[in-house]
Amino acid sequence: KYILAIESSCDDTSAAVLCNTKVLSNVVATQEIHKQYGGVVPELASRAHQQNIVPVVHQALAKANIDKKQLSAIAFTRGPGLMGSLLVGTSFAKSLALGLDIPLIEVNHMEAHILAHFIEDDAQTTPEFPFLAMTISGGHTQIVKVTDHFNMEVLGETLDDAVGEAFDKSAKLMGLPYPGGPLIDKYAKLGDATAFSFPKPKVDGLNFSFSGLKTSILYFLQRESQKNSDFVAENINDICASVQYTILEILMEKLQMAVDQTGITRIAIGGGVAANSGIRGRLRDAEENLGWQTFIPKFEYCTDNAAMIGIVGYLKFNKGEFTQQNIAAKARYAIGS
């Protein structure tokens, strides 16, 4: 089966073609326009999707060397995400499916971040059920018990900011451009993680909180900059390493708690922050020291991409789970709903 997948939930326009579980093409157009505003501007994102979607879909088909007449179905991101952005992909997918007279398949973006592990690729292995998935992205931070492709239970999630936001907002406080997550990762590699310490939030159970960390970083930077106006520039590596260390400690503590509660030691991560080299290292350590089996998606399947939408499309196609033309985009769309 050939599935064309479309992803437009936030600020990346992406299209992919899959042949069953294999990715033939996965094209991502990243919107540079938001950089100057220090964050995603929804209205601009929606307009950029409109400009990008036709060329991106054309490129995906061309790279896969597939004619649109060969497609078996169109999968698209229904939500969660920015409404204006979702509308572009949803409308485009609906029209194309109607025009080609092939089935339409709606996909939950967060389930896709988890099911990206089922893409067949030499560079990644697929977890067996049941496993624990930790979704760490720009809008979400969740620990999910996955007993089947479509049987997922959220065990805990963030009460305020997502971990990606914690990275990006901390970076912004240091004067780094958006999105700052990858830059913190880069500078952290050169710094000392024990140089500065930040308090960890006290949150019961498997829930997370990141807004307090952001505030303590703000006060810390203000205080130090008053003493030395070049503090940030002179210590950027150490600050990044310390901030990243604190964030990773929070994530690993909750993972350990989830393992203790469920007895499940297969851990899969997904979402943009799964691209972070620090979390990748910590999970590899856990393999050696704690006997966990850990699963980390290939880099390009971590941040937003249509290939992950395509694999869910394929899995739903096999179950005969198609959707009707009257389907509407959903800005808030919980996992497993």
Annotated binding site for substrate: 135-139, 168, 181, 185, 276
**Which member of 84, 103, 139, 310 binds ligand ATP (CB under 6 A)?**
139
| Residue 84 contacts ligand ATP per CB under 6 A | no
Backbone angles phi, psi at 246, to 5 degrees: -60, -45
Partner from ligand ATP, Fe ion, none contacting 25, C-beta within 5 to 8 A by type: none
Q: How far is CA 40 from the centre of its chain?
A: 15
Beta pairing, strands 293-295 & 141-148: unpaired
Residues 293 to 332 in contact with Fe ion, rule: CB under 5 A: 304
Smallest distance, ligand ATP to C-beta of residue 96, A: 23
Nearer to Fe ion, 137 or 246 (CB): 137
CB 220 within 8 A of CB 198: yes
Backbone angles phi, psi at 274, to 5 degrees: -65, -15
Residues 6 to 45 in contact with Fe ion, rule: CB under 5 A: none
| Residue 246 contacts ligand ATP per CB under 6 A | no
**Which member of 108, 137, 170, 244 binds Fe ion (CB under 5 A)?**
137
> CB within 8 A of 22, min separation 6: which ones?
119, 120, 121
Smallest distance, ligand ATP to C-beta of residue 2, A: 25
CB 16 within 8 A of CB 60: yes
Q: Which two tokens stand for residue 11?
A: 């600020």
List, in sequence order, every residue forming a beta bridge with 22; answer none if it has no partner.
Answer: 19
CB 327 within 8 A of CB 134: no
Residues 255 to 314 in contact with ligand ATP, rule: CB under 6 A: 271-273, 275-276, 303-304
| Residue 217 contacts ligand ATP per CB under 6 A | no
**Secondary structure element (H or E) that encloses residue 148, with its range:** strand 141-148
Smallest distance, ligand ATP to C-beta of residue 83, A: 13
Nearer to Fe ion, 56 or 66 (CB): 56
Q: CA-to-CA distance for 142 and 139, rounded, in angstroms? A: 10
Partner from Fe ion, ligand ATP, none contacting 181, C-beta within 5 to 8 A by type: ligand ATP
CB 307 within 8 A of CB 4: no
Q: Which residues bind Fe ion (CB under 5 A)?
A: 137, 304
Q: Which residues bind ligand ATP (CB under 6 A)?
A: 9-10, 81, 109, 113, 137-140, 164, 167-168, 179, 181-182, 185, 271-273, 275-276, 303-304
